[in-house]
């Protein structure tokens, strides 16, 4: 039986007004803060659907650094094509 090594990465998007509505520092601390469900690979960007954030996310997956990308941002229905 092969064992799948989980490599989760959490991507906290600050775009679309999220950073104005959510305490991003606290959110990042909750993600990385040493709980049982903590994820050490956590990044923030002004956008993960375009630009540098998008390229960084794609590179992390292409490099094998992350094989489970959790994007904390808009509804999956909004950017389905970009995140597929």
Site residues for ligand SF4 per CB under 6 A: 13, 15-16, 18, 47-49, 73-74, 78-79
Smallest gap from Cβ 16 to ligand SF4, in A, equals 3
- Using the minimum distance from each CB to ligand SF4, give the nearer residue, 21 or 62: 21
Smallest gap from Cβ 74 to ligand SF4, in A, equals 3
Smallest gap from Cβ 5 to ligand SF4, in A, equals 27
Mind giving me the DSSP string for 11-76?
EEE-TTTHHHHS-HHHHHHHHHSSSTT--S-EEEES-SSSHHHHHHHHHHHHTTS-SEEEEESS-T
């Amino acid at each position: 039986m092969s064992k799948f090594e989980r490599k989760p990465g959490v991507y906290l998007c600050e775009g679309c007004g999220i950073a104005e509505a959510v305490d991003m520092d606290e959110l990042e601390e909750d993600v990385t803060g040493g709980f049982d469900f903590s994820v050490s690979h956590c990044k923030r960007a002004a956008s993960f659907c375009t630009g540098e954030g998008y390229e960084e996310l794609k590179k992390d997956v292409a490099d094998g650094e992350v094989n489970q990308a959790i994007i904390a941002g808009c509804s999956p229905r909004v950017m389905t094509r970009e995140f597929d």
